[in-house]
């Protein structure tokens, strides 16, 4: 099975100041207002990593969706490759309200999982601050590119990312091959077991 993916990639070589200037006026104002309202950007660890996954579970449940990747996969991934994972968060009163799990590889930082709509109503949205500070962090730590994976292939994400720091559109292909038994097991997990586990996790947070 071959799948076509569309990513947004920002060249960081022009520096943080120029990148910030490339944002539209409203985004710059919202970022400044977020800081004035005590929203703080912080790099997290394993606890924040897992909490972002919890926030994603809750957000998906609110939309009537399920997270198709098992939690054990994310946990094992962090243990095996934690040096290649960057956890960005925004906190209000020391509580994480949103966050993004990034992948770090060579000269690039990849926005992978996260940016959920906060459970609490906050104005301005902390996600603009989250994305900008993640880009600034990557810039100031020697990375050349910041890439939002698969953002351009989703209408909602396209509208959200397209105007941020003038990203370039990249096309990427992924290929998977599964045996018939493996495919049946995966379908059974996604269609039967995973929705049940998702409901249990949602109830435990309510």
pLDDT of residue 26: 92
pLDDT of residue 200: 44
Q: How many CB atoms lie within 10 A of CB 77?
A: 16
pLDDT of residue 66: 77
pLDDT of residue 187: 52
Candidates 70, 45, 67; CA nearest to 58 is 67
| Kind and range of the H or E run holding 97 | strand 95-105
* Beta strands across the sheet bearing 168-175: 39-44, 85-92, 95-105, 108-114, 145-148, 2-11, 168-175
Mean pLDDT by 10 residues, the chain (206 residues): 86 96 92 97 97 92 83 94 97 96 97 91 95 97 94 73 81 71 48 46 48
Answer yes or no: are the C-beta atoms of 102 and 90 closer than 8 Å: no
For residue 152, give the DSSP letter.
Answer: G
Answer yes or no: are the C-beta atoms of 7 and 152 closer than 8 Å: yes
- What pTM was computed for the model? 0.81
> Which fold is adopted by the domain 2-205?
Aminopeptidase (3.40.630)
pLDDT of residue 154: 77
pLDDT of residue 42: 98
Q: How far apart are CA 154 and CA 65, in angstroms?
A: 15
């Amino acid at each position: 099975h071959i799948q076509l993916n569309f990513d947004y990639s920002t060249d960081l070589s022009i520096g943080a100041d120029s990148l910030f200037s490339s944002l539209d006026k409203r985004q710059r104002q919202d970022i400044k207002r977020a800081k004035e309202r005590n929203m703080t950007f912080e790099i997290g660890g394993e606890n924040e990593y897992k909490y972002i996954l919890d926030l994603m579970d809750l957000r998906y449940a609110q939309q009537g969706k399920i997270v198709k990747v098992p939690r054990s996969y994310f946990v094992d991934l962090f243990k095996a490759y934690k040096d290649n994972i960057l956890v960005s968060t925004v906190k209000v009163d020391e509580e994480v309200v949103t966050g993004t799990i990034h992948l770090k590889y060579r000269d690039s930082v990849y926005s992978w999982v996260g940016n959920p709509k906060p459970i609490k109503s906050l104005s301005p949205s902390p996600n603009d601050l989250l994305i900008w500070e993640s880009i600034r962090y990557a810039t100031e730590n020697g990375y050349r590119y910041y890439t939002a994976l698969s953002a351009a292939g989703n209408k909602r994400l396209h509208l959200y990312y397209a105007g941020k720091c003038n990203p370039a559109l990249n096309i990427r292909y992924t290929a998977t091959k599964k045996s018939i038994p493996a495919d049946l097991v995966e379908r059974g997990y996604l269609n039967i077991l995973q929705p049940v586990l998702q409901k249990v996790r949602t109830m435990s947070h309510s």
